[in-house]
């Protein structure tokens, strides 16, 4: 039968999602030291049947990867956690409704740069959607978010002058630059519908070639 | 379909995002979705998109928003601004419908009928709040297709 549930509840039960790698996380019940174990279940909104996540049964960690179970981003989900300690248990504590399409965070794009004497060319690669295994089919977030755009920042290290570009395709040529000068490039992903954006990537710096004539 | 309607989706989406957690938390019914049960909107043929979009906006304007009052004035203001956006979008879609570019086929009529059955299967306040909480399902579908 059901244990008497007088254990304090797990706290802050929520999905944390990056590039649709959807991980359920929570904090241990207040005032409980080591030894707390947890069970996890999840459900698809509109279907409602709770499904136990077997790999997260009687675990002592405070997270559970539900990426596989929530990979259809045309659906919404709930997940729930229950804590156990010395024969006592907590209530089942649920997340808010989770929509992978709008509730995921997006990593910055990968930036690669090359230069000539007076120009820099930039190639941007959007991150991939989480996949079950490395051999699995790669799906770019560009396919998930057709409205995906890039904001690109180019900084002249000498003059500290900065340009900002907003582009839809993934390549950018910046012309009319000074030869023999260092430029630093950083880029961000911006999705218009639904409204999402990544942070800016780290800076990738490169120098234009020295002027052969000079 | 041929009816390309420019919609202020960002406006509706940001209004909804501001109240999504609050509204969805008021809906305890997990095993029924007004828009997605038994089949997701995403399964609908794109040729019937214009009709379903028009009918769904009419559904929200005529049936849902009027029953979505809460005790929270901030939430109520957000709901009425979303409703106003829906009204202007519905007006645009009306033009399409009048110009006969928005043909409703069997599939869309069946889908819309199911949505009404789902809606009328609950008491009106629960049904309206659930429908409001499913706006992201509608927006995701409309944005994906456009």
Spans of all domains in chain A:
11-103, 110-207
The more confident residue out of B53 and A38 is: A38
Q: State the smallest CA–CA distance between residue A96 and chain B in angstroms.
A: 7
Q: For residue B122, is it within any domain? A: yes
Q: What pLDDT is attached to residue B100?
A: 62
C-alpha to C-alpha distance for B26 and A196, rounded to whole angstroms: 25
- Domain of residue B70 covers 46-145
Say if A123 is an interface residue toward chain B (CB within 8 Å): no
Nearest residue in chain A measured CA to CA from B34:
A46
Q: Taking CB atoms and an 8 Å limit, are A195 and B17 in contact across chains? A: yes
A54: confidence class by pLDDT, cuts 50, 70, 90: very high
Q: What pLDDT is attached to residue B7?
A: 53
Question: Which of A46, A73, A93, A97 to mutate against chain B (most B CBs within 10 Å)?
Answer: A46
Judge if the upstream peptide bond of residue B42 is cis by omega within 30 degrees of 0. no
Judged against a pLDDT cut of 80, whether residue B102 lies above it is answered with no
What is the CATH T-level fold of the domain A11-103, as seen in this structure? Immunoglobulin-like (2.60.40)
Q: What pLDDT is attached to residue B103?
A: 76
Q: For residue B86, is it within any domain? A: yes
If you count them, how many residues does chain B have? 146
CB-nearest to A48 from B14, B30, B144 is B30
C-alpha to C-alpha distance for A209 and A119, rounded to whole angstroms: 9
Which range (A36-45, A56-65, A113-122, B87-96) has the least confidence?
B87-96
Cβ atoms of B118 and B36 within 8 Å: the answer is no
Judged against a pLDDT cut of 70, whether residue B117 lies above it is answered with yes
Domains A11-103 and A110-207 share a fold: yes
Task: Identify how many contiguous H helices and E strands chain A contains and give both numbers.
Answer: 2, 16
Q: Taking CB atoms and an 8 Å limit, are A194 and B144 in contact across chains? A: no
Question: Which of B37, B143, B146 to mutate against chain A (most A CBs within 10 Å)?
Answer: B143
Find the CATH number of the domain harbouring B109.
Answer: 1.20.1250.10
Q: For residue B38, is it within any domain? A: no
Q: Taking CB atoms and an 8 Å limit, are A48 and B139 in contact across chains? A: no
C-alpha to C-alpha distance for A194 and A144, rounded to whole angstroms: 11
Greatest Cα pair distance, chain A, in angstroms, is 87
Say if A213 is an interface residue toward chain B (CB within 8 Å): no
Q: For residue B137, is it within any domain? A: yes
A3: confidence class by pLDDT, cuts 50, 70, 90: low
Say if A102 is an interface residue toward chain B (CB within 8 Å): yes
CB-nearest to A46 from B10, B21, B32 is B32
Judged against a pLDDT cut of 70, whether residue A1 lies above it is answered with no
Structure-token match 């800016």, residue found: A200
Question: What's the gap between Cα B90 and its chain centre?
Answer: 11
Q: What pLDDT is attached to residue A211?
A: 80
Q: For residue B113, is it within any domain? A: yes
Which range (A16-25, A200-209, B1-10, B137-146) has the least confidence?
B1-10
Mean pLDDT, residues A61-69 taken together? 97
- Determine phi and psi for A184, rounding to 5 degrees: -120, 135
Mean pLDDT, residues B46-69 taken together? 90
Mean pLDDT, residues B97-115 taken together? 82
Say if A51 is an interface residue toward chain B (CB within 8 Å): no
C-alpha to C-alpha distance for B146 and B141, rounded to whole angstroms: 9
CATH architecture entry for A110-207: Sandwich (2.60)
Domain count of the fold of chain B: 1
pTM: 0.90
Q: For residue B24, is it within any domain? A: no
The more confident residue out of A212 and B21 is: B21
Q: For residue B88, is it within any domain? A: yes
Q: Taking CB atoms and an 8 Å limit, are B40 and A74 in contact across chains? A: yes
Residue numbers in B near A99 (CB within 8 A): 136, 140
**Predicted-complex ipTM score:** 0.88
């Amino acid at each position: 039968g059901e244990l008497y549930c007088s254990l304090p509840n797990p706290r802050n039960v929520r999905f944390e999602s990056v590039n649709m790698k959807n991980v359920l996380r929570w904090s241990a019940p207040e005032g409980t030291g080591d030894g707390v174990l947890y069970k996890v279940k999840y459900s698809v909104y509109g279907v409602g049947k709770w499904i136990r996540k077997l790999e997260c049964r009687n675990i002592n960690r405070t997270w559970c990867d539900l990426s596989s179970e929530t990979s259809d981003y045309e659906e919404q989900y709930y997940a729930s956690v229950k804590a156990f300690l010395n024969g006592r248990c907590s209530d089942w504590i649920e997340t808010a409704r989770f929509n992978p399409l709008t509730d995921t965070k997006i990593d910055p794009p990968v930036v690669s740069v090359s230069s000539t004497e007076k120009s820099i060319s930039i190639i941007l690669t959007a991150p991939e959607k989480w996949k079950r295994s490395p051999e699995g089919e790669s799906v770019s977030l560009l396919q998930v978010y057709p409205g995906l755009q890039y904001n690109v920042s180019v900084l002249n290290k000498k003059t500290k002058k900065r340009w900002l570009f907003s582009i839809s395709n993934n390549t950018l040529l910046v012309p009319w630059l000074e030869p023999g000068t260092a430029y630093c490039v950083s880029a961000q992903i911006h999705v218009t519908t639904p409204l999402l954006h990544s942070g800016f990537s780290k800076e990738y710096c490169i120098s234009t070639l020295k002027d052969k004539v000079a | 379909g041929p009816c390309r309607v420019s919609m202020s989706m960002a406006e509706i989406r940001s209004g909804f995002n501001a109240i999504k957690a609050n509204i969805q938390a008021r809906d305890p019914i997990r095993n029924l979705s007004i828009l997605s049960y038994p089949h997701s909107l995403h399964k609908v043929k794109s040729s019937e998109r214009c009709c379903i979009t028009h009918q769904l906006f009419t559904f929200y304007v005529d049936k849902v928003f009027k029953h979505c009052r809460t005790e929270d004035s901030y939430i109520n203001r957000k709901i009425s601004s979303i409703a106003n956006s829906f009204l202007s979008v519905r007006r645009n879609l009306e033009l399409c419908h009048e110009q006969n570019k928005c043909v409703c086929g069997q599939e869309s009529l069946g889908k819309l009928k199911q949505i009404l059955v789902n809606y009328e299967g609950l008491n009106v306040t629960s049904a309206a709040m659930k429908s409001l909480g499913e706006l992201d399902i509608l927006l995701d579908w409309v944005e994906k297709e456009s």
